[in-house]
């Protein structure tokens, strides 16, 4: 007995390898999604001849019945034609499918046309590289890619490109319940500025055409302390344990104490400390969905900004609230250096602007537990 496969499995009109390669080349191997533009291929840590790719030739109208934006009127040849493809990073390829109603065929065609036009202008030197929008966080549950449109003394305003964590409904809930929210969760963090603020009042939002605009009322920035005045601390060795020198526990202070201060502060996960459950970072939580992606360092940058700019007061309220990394003025850049790690410690490069010192770069390991 023979079975006819075509009766059970829909035929997919996939792109040929040659069509995929042409799409990638035309897009300069960068994501075509408006505002993304991320490089989708690059060197791998696995070896000098290895590379990694996070790009996809996405179908504008689906390759098979049941897929998003499937058009039964099209012939198989039209479905697998280059004109039906758009080059995107994996995150955006998925986004345009799971939220298909927000991305109709014409919108995707326009994104592709605009992206290719931009690449053409860059190649002829008529225009600099793309402006890549970075992450903005409002409170603990909303992170979006967006553009800073205005900075006033008491209000920062943004245009939302798209949400990365949470959505507009989540933001509206945050606004409605603002008065009841723990004051430690009332913050805005902006990667582009390398800085953040506490909120003085609930954010507000408005739709303007296709755009969502958000304004946040902010408090004044917290005074920083000179790094040279960092108090004496027990020194930690390369094994992340107490360092003994000449039979005694070594101590560090000032600038020497800064790397381990950053290391211990960022390695502590929120919820880990029994007596200070709200203290700590969300880095471990972020690694669940984002480990190995270019978005992890951007999310970690948000957390470093939070530790540098948002005052924390312990639950007993004994000491006045201060940010744990109070000598950090601006978080300039965070890059992940190794992806393999050593016993859960992963190296990152920190480029910071430090009070009393100026620009400072250091490679510091962070402990990220990957078992959940
Ligand atoms: Zn993308």
Mean pLDDT value across residues 270-282: 81
Q: Would the pLDDT of 173 be above 70?
A: yes
pLDDT for position 140: 93
How far, in Å, from the CA of 15 to the mean position of ligand 1?
A: 20
Confidence (pLDDT) at 2: 42
- Tell me how far the alpha carbon of residue 195 lies from the centroid of ligand 1, in angstroms: 24
- With 0-12 / 13-18 / 19 or more C-beta atoms within 10 angstroms meaning exposed / middle / buried, residue 189 is buried
**What pLDDT does 5 receive?**
47
Gap from CA of 87 to ligand 1 centroid (Å): 9
Q: Is the pLDDT of residue 351 over 90?
A: yes
What does R_g of the chain's alpha carbons equal in angstroms? 24
C-alpha 172 to ligand 1 mean position (Å): 26
Distance 173 CA to ligand 1 centre (A): 27
Q: List the alpha helices (DSSP H) in 27-126.
A: 76-79, 90-98, 105-123
Query: Are the C-beta atoms of residues 274 and 257 closer than 8 Å to each other?
Result: no
Query: How far, in Å, from the CA of 355 to the mean position of ligand 1?
Result: 35
What is the whole-number distance in angstroms between the Cα of residue 168 and the centre of ligand 1? 20
pLDDT at 105: 95
Residue 277 and residue 183: Cα distance in Å, rounded? 14
88 CA distance to ligand 1 centroid (A)? 6
Distance 89 CA to ligand 1 centre (A): 4
Give pLDDT, residue 206. 94
Q: Ligand 1 centre from 40 Cα, in Å?
A: 8
**What's the confidence (pLDDT) of residue 44?**
83
Q: By C-alpha distance, which of 255, 253, 225 is closest to 320?
A: 225
Of 315 and 270, more confident: 270
C-alpha of residue 159 to centroid of ligand 1, in Å: 18
Q: How far is CA 97 from CA 54, 88, 169, in A?
A: 17, 12, 20
Please tell me the predicted confidence (pLDDT) of residue 172. 96
Ligand 1 center from residue 307 Cα (angstroms): 28
The topology under which CATH files domain 228-367 is: Nuclear Transport Factor 2; Chain: A, (3.10.450)
**What confidence tens digit (pLDDT) does each residue in 203-256 have?**
999 998 878 999 999 999 989 999 998 887 777 777 777 777 777 777 888 888
3-state helix, strand, coil in the chain (%, to 5): 30, 30, 40
Tell me, in angstroms, the distance from the centre of ligand 1 to residue 279's CA. 32
Quickly state the pLDDT bin for 1 (edges 50, 70, 90): very low
Average pLDDT, the chain: 88
For residue 347, the CA-to-ligand 1 centroid distance in Å is 25
Asked if the model's pLDDT at residue 6 lies above 70, the reply is no
330 forms bridges with which residues in the sheet?
353
CA distance 197 to 195: 7
CA of 320 to the centre of ligand 1 (A): 42
pLDDT exceeds 90 at position 315: no
Under a CB-based contact definition with an 8 Å cutoff, are residues 23 and 80 in contact? Answer: no
- Give me the pLDDT at residue 130, please: 56
Average pLDDT of the segment spanning 58-82: 94
Report which secondary-structure segment, H or E, holds 371: none
Q: Please give all residues whose CB falls under 5 A of ion ligand 1, grouped by chain where several chains appear.
A: 31, 33, 36, 89, 92
| pLDDT for 31 | 94
Q: What is the phi-psi region of residue 224: left when phi exceeds 0, alpha when psi lies from -120 to 50, beta otherwise? A: beta
| The predicted structure's pLDDT at residue 131 | 62
pTM (two decimals): 0.69
Residue 230 CA to ligand 1 centre (angstroms): 41
3-state secondary structure at position 357: coil
pLDDT, tens only, 79-137: 999 999 999 999 899 889 888 888 999 999 999 998 998 888 888 776 666 566 789 99
Instruction: Calculate how far, in angstroms, residue 86's C-alpha sits from the geometric centre of ligand 1.
Output: 11
For 317-340, the pLDDT digits (tens) are: 667 788 999 999 999 999 888 878
Which of 26, 162, 18, 12 is closest to 87 using CA atoms? Answer: 26
Asked if residue 18 has pLDDT above 90, the reply is: yes
> Where do the structural domains in the chain lie, given as residue ranges?
5-123, 134-217, 228-367
Q: How far is the CA of 48 from the centre of ligand 1 (A)?
A: 26
- Which of the two residues, 168 and 209, has the higher pLDDT score? 168
Spell out where the chain has E strands.
41-43, 51-53, 55-59, 85-89, 134-138, 142-151, 155-165, 187-190, 195-198, 204-208, 211-217, 233-234, 244-245, 248-249, 251-252, 328-336, 345-354, 358-367
């Amino acid at each position: 007995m023979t079975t006819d496969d075509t009766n059970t499995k829909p035929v997919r009109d996939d792109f040929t390898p040659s069509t995929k390669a042409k799409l990638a080349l035309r897009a300069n191997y960068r994501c075509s999604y408006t505002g993304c533009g991320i490089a989708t291929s690059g060197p791998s840590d696995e070896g000098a001849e290895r590379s990694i790719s996070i790009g996809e030739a996405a179908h504008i109208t689906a390759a098979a019945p049941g897929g998003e934006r499937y058009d039964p009127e099209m012939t198989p040849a039209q479905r697998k034609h280059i004109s039906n493809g758009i080059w995107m990073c994996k995150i955006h390829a998925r986004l345009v499918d799971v939220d298909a109603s927000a991305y109709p065929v014409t919108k995707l065609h326009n994104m592709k046309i605009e992206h290719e036009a931009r690449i053409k202008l860059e190649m002829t030197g008529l225009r600099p590289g793309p402006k890549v929008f970075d992450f903005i966080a409002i409170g603990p549950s909303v992170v979006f890619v967006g553009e800073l449109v205005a900075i006033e003394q008491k209000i920062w305003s943004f245009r939302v490109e798209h949400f990365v964590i949470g959505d507009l409904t989540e933001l509206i809930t945050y606004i409605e319940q603002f008065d009841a929210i723990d004051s430690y969760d009332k913050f805005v963090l902006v990667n582009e500025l390398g800085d953040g603020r506490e909120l003085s009042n609930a954010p507000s939002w408005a739709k303007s055409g296709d755009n969502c605009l958000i304004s946040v009322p902010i408090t004044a920035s917290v005074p920083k302390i000179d790094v040279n005045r960092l108090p004496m601390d027990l020194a930690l060795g390369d094994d992340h344990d107490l360092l003994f020198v000449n039979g005694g526990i070594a101590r560090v202070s000032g600038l020497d104490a800064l790397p381990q201060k950053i290391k211990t502060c960022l390695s502590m996960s929120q919820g880990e400390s029994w007596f200070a459950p709200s203290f700590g970072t969300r880095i471990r939580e972020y690694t669940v969905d984002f480990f190995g992606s270019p978005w992890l360092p951007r999310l970690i940058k948000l957390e470093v900004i939070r530790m540098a700019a948002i005052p924390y007061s312990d639950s007993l309220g004994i000491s006045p609230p201060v940010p744990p990394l109070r000598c950090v003025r601006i978080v300039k850049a965070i890059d992940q250096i190794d992806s393999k790690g050593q016993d859960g410690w992963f190296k990152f490069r920190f480029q910071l602007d430090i009070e009393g010192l100026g620009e400072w770069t250091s490679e510091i390991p962070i402990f990220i537990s990957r078992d959940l």
